[in-house]
Amino acid sequence: MTIGGPRGGGQPRLQMPCLGKMERMIVSMQDPDMGIKMRNQRLLITVIPHAMTGNDIVEWLIQKYGISEEESLHLGNLIVRHGYIYPLRDPRSLVLRADESPYRFQTPYFWTSTKWPATELDYAIYLAKKNIRKQGELIEHEKDNYNLLHKRINHTWDFVVMQAREQLRAAKQRRKGDRIVIDCQEQAYWLVNRPPPGAPNVLEQGPERRNCHTTRVQLNMDYYKREIEYCRKAMARTRVKSSICLEGYLKFNEQYVPHDPIMSGCLPSNPWITDDTTYWAMNAPTVTTPTKLRVERWGFNFSELLMDPLGRTQLLEFLKKEFSAENLSFWEACEELRYGEQSHINEIVDSIYQQFLAPGATRWVNIDSKTMERTLEGIKTPHRYVMDDAQMHIYMLMKKDSYPRFLKSELYRNLLAEAVIPPETKKRVFPFMRKQRHSSPSPALLLPAGDTEAKGEEKSRSPAAVPEEES
């Protein structure tokens, strides 16, 4: 969604859907019945009509959206910073104060969405007006800009000065109140479009999107044919009833919430809160005694057991007892193929074949004949996914067969019994005394053997480091 529509000459587009929403908010704020009650505000000796206080704005937002005062002040501030409401008393700073400071709604003529981008010519006229009206009224950055513009659009300078003089002359004929209002409106507009250095630029966007025209999708016959084909395939797909899917979330939630440190805390304590890294030490990839929560989690599903390095080691132990350890090794080798380097594919496929699939192989895996046939055929032209079928078959075998037995096994039950529940860290007596935060060795230092230089570096790298202790 773009505001302002396309402009000629490939000018950048303002991509801010929030502006439209802000404008709707502004309009409802000015609603005669439900909007903010506006009244005349006194500015020194002049009376400005249709104004409101900062407090009014904050209160209205709280009422309308049911939000807290902090959020309301934050939102109000953003509205002011985008120039939709401007302060009367301190017009140089676009800030919302939740007190009796007077504010007014910006005229739609100066809305960010209507008058974007701000033109150099307009800015030059504005600065010229300021300069003419009172010598030395221009502040530092405005002086710099003025000089820059004078150089850049010198050829139109006569026009600029003439326009400035005309506008000033016309302004003198207005009432003082109107003059003040128009000045504030203009100033707010320029604060948004030419923010002083150091002030945040609310109109700043990231790199332009949708600027690559070579890949623009052509709405031709091919496009629609693809859409039709996609729809047909999608219609044929099996869908699951919402009630069943959503039930799944509830189950997942129930299982995992006790394991979610943000929801349920973690024992002994969350390292980020107490600066104590015991939690990480106790849950390191390989420890002698895993925690109870961790061992319980291996029982949730096969993937949890397999993806935990410690769990996988235990699984291997169990499979060895059942004489089916080659299944796990095969699966690991297939993973290495799938995620390995492109140049090693032939090598890895051959190694897998020799170890696991060749007749008489030392660690022959038991795959059904059809899959074996397909795989052996595929090996002739090896590629990354050639073992997918076989790998899936073995994975399912482990999942449906070995895994349930693992959960019932003595091995697993012992693990559960011996697992530790760390005691909660006692709250420190002097909570404001921060515990020293120790560094840990970077994983990048654990280079393959032969890089002993790097290990030597480690000692000099982190002098205050306390090596992580495994319990």
- Chain positions 105 to 164 lying near another protein, rule: CB under 8 A, are none
In three-state secondary structure terms, 80 is: helix
Handedness of CA 457, 459, 464, 469 (dihedral sign): positive
Cβ nearer to another protein, comparing 160 with 334: 334
For residues 194 and 149, give the distance between their C-alpha atoms in angstroms, rounded to a whole number.
Answer: 13
Q: Is residue 240 at the binding interface for another protein, with CB under 8 A as the rule?
A: yes
Q: Is residue 262 at the binding interface for another protein, with CB under 8 A as the rule?
A: yes
Among 35, 271, 299, 382, binds another protein (CB under 8 A): 271
CA dihedral 225, 230, 231, 237 (to 10 degrees): 150
Handedness of CA 73, 74, 79, 85 (dihedral sign): positive
Q: Is residue 440 at the binding interface for another protein, with CB under 8 A as the rule?
A: yes
CA atoms within 13 A on the CB side of 22: 22
**From the CB of 45, what's the least distance to another protein, in Å?**
38
Region for 44 from its dihedrals, namely left if φ exceeds 0, alpha if ψ lies in -120 to 50, beta otherwise: left
Cβ nearer to another protein, comparing 40 with 68: 68
Task: Give which of 402, 412, 410, 398 is closest to 292, Cα–Cα.
Answer: 412
Q: Is residue 228 at the binding interface for another protein, with CB under 8 A as the rule?
A: yes
Specify the stretch interacting with another protein by CB under 8 A; choose among 33-41, 120-128, 340-348, 426-434.
340-348
Q: Is residue 428 at the binding interface for another protein, with CB under 8 A as the rule?
A: no
Query: What are the residues whose beta carbons fall under 8 Å from the beta carbon of 37, sequence distance 6 or more?
Result: 52, 56
Q: Is residue 453 at the binding interface for another protein, with CB under 8 A as the rule?
A: yes
Task: Restricting to residues 202-221, name those near another protein by CB under 8 A.
Answer: 206-207, 209-212, 214-215, 217, 219-221
Task: Restricting to residues 341-360, name those near another protein by CB under 8 A.
Answer: 341-343
Q: Is residue 438 at the binding interface for another protein, with CB under 8 A as the rule?
A: yes
**From the CB of 189, what's the least distance to another protein, in Å?**
21
Q: Is residue 70 at the binding interface for another protein, with CB under 8 A as the rule?
A: yes
Q: What is the DSSP letter of 20?
A: H
Q: Is residue 450 at the binding interface for another protein, with CB under 8 A as the rule?
A: no
Task: Restricting to residues 359-418, name those near another protein by CB under 8 A.
Answer: 384-385, 388, 392, 395
Q: Is residue 449 at the binding interface for another protein, with CB under 8 A as the rule?
A: no
Q: Which residues of 392-467 form beta strands (DSSP E)?
A: none
